[in-house]
């Protein structure tokens, strides 16, 4: 699939599921976190345990969002409203922050024990657009973005990084709000309409469209092509290698 890159100045890549296979790890860790919590809660209340659905719940409530928002939004979908807590809450604290920190610990354990690699097609596309003079940035809700990029051998391929740490520090709204993409565009000195957003999450595609970016590319690795288009993707591909033509 051919894309005319010459009318753009920069490409803004999501991380998990776009550059690296970490979306799969995140999904499994979210399921472990919520199933453990929901099962314990159901047992203590004498209620039926309804597990976290890897396809429906992950895509709808947590994929692409800052983890604090994902925790809050999924629990709210089950009618559960916990105290927000604080950033320093311990992982076993029954609060939004406590559960979010617990999920992060699960993810880091897997990342550090198994490592991670970049998708070959994604790595090739990053190299191609850089060769053509386009600027590149990573825009991710992950607090572990820098560590993942380093582990995947991508740390030197991006001029700017707006991740979960930056989002927290600046008080930006997370995806599907466009704030993180707009901040990355500002850091590169590129107008949104001259930028390309590459996303696999519905919330990320919606953020790119809301930000007025010139092209929004959806990456469908899970059979979600129609939903990506409905959220505003101009182009949907199964792998970024398809854009190397």
Tell me the catalytic residues. Answer: 14, 16
What lies within 8 Å, CB to CB, of 11 at 6+ separation is 126, 129, 134, 135, 136, 137, 195, 196, 198
| Helices 202-210 and 179-188: angle between axes, nearest 10 degrees | 60
What is the number of H-type helices and E-type strands within the chain?
Answer: 10, 6
Residue 167 CB neighbour total at 10 angstroms: 24
DSSP label of 25? H
- Ranges assigned E (strand) in the chain: 10-13, 135-139, 160-162, 195-199, 215-219, 235-237
Alpha carbon separation from 197 to 49, 146, 202, 225 (Å, rounded): 39, 19, 12, 16
**How many Cα atoms sit within 13 Å of 118 on the Cβ side?**
25
């Amino acid at each position: 699939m051919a894309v005319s890159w010459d009318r753009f100045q920069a490409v803004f890549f999501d991380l998990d599921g776009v550059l690296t296979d970490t979306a799969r790890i995140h999904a499994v860790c979210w399921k472990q976190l919520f199933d453990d919590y929901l099962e314990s809660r159901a047992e203590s209340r004498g209620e039926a345990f309804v597990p976290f659905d890897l396809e429906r719940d992950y895509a709808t409530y947590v994929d692409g969002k800052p983890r604090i928002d994902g925790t809050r939004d999924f629990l709210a979908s089950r009618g559960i409203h916990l105290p927000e807590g604080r950033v320093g809450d311990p992982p076993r604290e029954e609060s939004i922050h406590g559960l979010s920190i617990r999920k992060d610990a699960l993810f880091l354990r897997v990342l550090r024990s198994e490592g991670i690699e970049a998708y070959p097609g994604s790595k090739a596309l990053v190299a191609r657009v850089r060769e053509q003079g386009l600027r590149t940035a990573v825009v991710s809700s992950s607090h572990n973005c820098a560590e993942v990029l380093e582990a995947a051998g991508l740390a030197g391929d991006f001029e700017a990084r707006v991740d979960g740490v930056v989002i927290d520090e600046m008080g930006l709204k997370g995806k599907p709000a466009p704030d993180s993409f707009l901040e990355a565009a500002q850091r590169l000195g590129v107008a949104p309409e001259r930028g390309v957003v590459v996303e696999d999450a519905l919330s990320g595609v919606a953020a790119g469209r809301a930000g007025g970016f010139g092209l929004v590319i959806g990456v469908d690795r899970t059979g979600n092509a129609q939903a990506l288009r409905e959220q505003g993707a101009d182009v949907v591909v199964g792998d970024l290698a398809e854009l190397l033509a």
